Amino acid sequence: TMASIPSTMKGVIIETTGGTEVLQYRTDLPVPSPGEGQVLVKNDYVGVNYIDTYFRTGLYPAPKYPYILGREAEGTVVKAGAGDLYGLREGDKVLMLSEGTYAEYTAANAAKAVKVKQGVEAKVGAAALLQGLTALTLIREAHPVKKGDWVLVHAAAGGTGLWLVQLLKAVGANLIGTASTREKVDLARKAGAEHMINYSHEDVRSKVMELTKDLGCVAVFDGVGKSTFDLSLDCLARKGSMVSFGNASGAVPPLTIARLSPKNARLMRPTLFGYITTREEFEHYVDELMEFVTKDKLDVRIHETYALSDVARAHNDLEGRKTTGKLLLDPSK
C-alpha cells in the first residue's frame, strides 16, 4: 500500500562521467512516482551490464544528470501508475528492462516489464533478462543460426557470452569460443563451447581456419569491439555475418566499407532494444528465453551478488575482466 512506500531511498547516481570514483552511493534519493504507463517497483535484485560502465565513462551519453544507472531488475510492483499497464498490478513479482534500476525503487515502463513465470527462482530473472535476450535476438535475428553452422563467439565466459554458448549449443551450431584465461576457457567449454581458444596467447585465426577447413565462420558474434574487430573479419566465411554488438575493449574505429568486399561480408551493429521495440516482440522473446530457463534448464551463472553500496567494486571487477557470468546488486544493502 502507499503508506509503506518511503519518500527517500538508497541508489547510485552519477553527476559526471569518469572512473568508478564518479559512482555516488546515496541514501537520500527521492523515491520516484510512477507516471502514465508505469509501475513503481521495489527492486529485489538489479542486473549489472557492461552498458552501465559506458554511461559511467561517457562512451554513451546519459540523457541527464544526476543520472541513476542501471538497465534491468526484478522486484515487486508496489504502486500502479495510470494508463495501460499490460495487466500488471500491485503485488506482482516482475522482471523488467528499465532505466534507473541502481536503486531501491524504480518507476518502470510497464511495456518492458513481465510477471515472473512459475518455476523461475529469485535472482534468475534479473540475471537472465538483458543478456539472455541479447544472445537470443542475436542468434535469431542478427544472424539466424542453423544447425551445423560454424560460429565464433568472443568473451564466451562473460555474461552474454555464456548465454550465446548455451543457446547456440541448443540450436546445434558448431561453436568456437574465445576467452582470456584458462579458468574461463574451462568454464565456457563446460557450458557447451566444444572448441575454446585462449585469445590471450593462442593464434585464433589459424585455429578457426583449421577447425572450419579454411572456410571460416558463417557468423562472428563480437561484443569485445576494438581489440577483436580485425580478427573477427579474418575469421569470417565468404558471405558471413560480422555481428559487432559491443565495446568491452573500446569502440570500433570507423572503417571503410571496401573492407567487406573480399568476403562479401555482412556487417551489423545491432542493439537489443531494436529487436524488442514492440510489446509483441518483447513478450515473444521473453517467453522463448524463459522456456530455455525452465524447460531446457540452462545454467544461469551468477558471479556475485554485490551490495548496492559496493557498486564500485562490481564495476571494477567487470571492467577488470575478473568476472564470469552475471553480476547482480542487492539494493537493500
**Residue ranges that bind ligand NDP, judged by CB under 6 A:** 49-51, 130-131, 134, 155, 157-161, 179-180, 184, 223-224, 227, 245-249, 270-272, 318-319, 321, 323
- β-partners of residue 79 are 40
Min dist. Cβ of residue 292 to ligand NDP (A) = 17
- Written as nine digits, the cell of 175 is 561453436
Angle between helix axes 124-137 and 159-171 (nearest 10 degrees) is: 60
C-beta closer to ligand NDP: residue 174 or 247: 247
Omega prior to 66 cis, within 30 of 0: yes
C-beta closer to ligand NDP: residue 9 or 327: 327
Min dist. Cβ of residue 202 to ligand NDP (A) = 12
* 296 touches 168 (CB < 8 A): no
Measured distance CA(152)–CA(165) in Å, rounded = 10
Give backbone dihedrals phi and psi of 165, rounded to 5 degrees, phi first: -60, -50
Min dist. Cβ of residue 9 to ligand NDP (A) = 25
C-beta closer to ligand NDP: residue 180 or 294: 180
Helix (H, G, I), strand (E, B) or coil at 56: helix
Min dist. Cβ of residue 41 to ligand NDP (A) = 21
Min dist. Cβ of residue 318 to ligand NDP (A) = 6
C-beta closer to ligand NDP: residue 76 or 180: 180
Measured distance CA(28)–CA(10) in Å, rounded = 6
159 membership: H or E segment, kind and range: helix 159-171
Min dist. Cβ of residue 160 to ligand NDP (A) = 3
Min dist. Cβ of residue 135 to ligand NDP (A) = 8
- Contacts of 230-236 spanning 24+ positions with Cβ under 8 A: 231/199, 231/204, 231/205, 232/152, 232/154, 233/259, 233/263, 233/265, 234/205, 235/152, 235/204, 235/205, 235/208, 235/209, 236/263, 236/265
C-beta closer to ligand NDP: residue 86 or 273: 273
* 32 touches 106 (CB < 8 A): yes
Helix (H, G, I), strand (E, B) or coil at 93: strand
199 dihedral zone (left: phi>0; alpha: psi -120 to 50; beta): alpha
C-beta closer to ligand NDP: residue 182 or 238: 182
Min dist. Cβ of residue 183 to ligand NDP (A) = 10
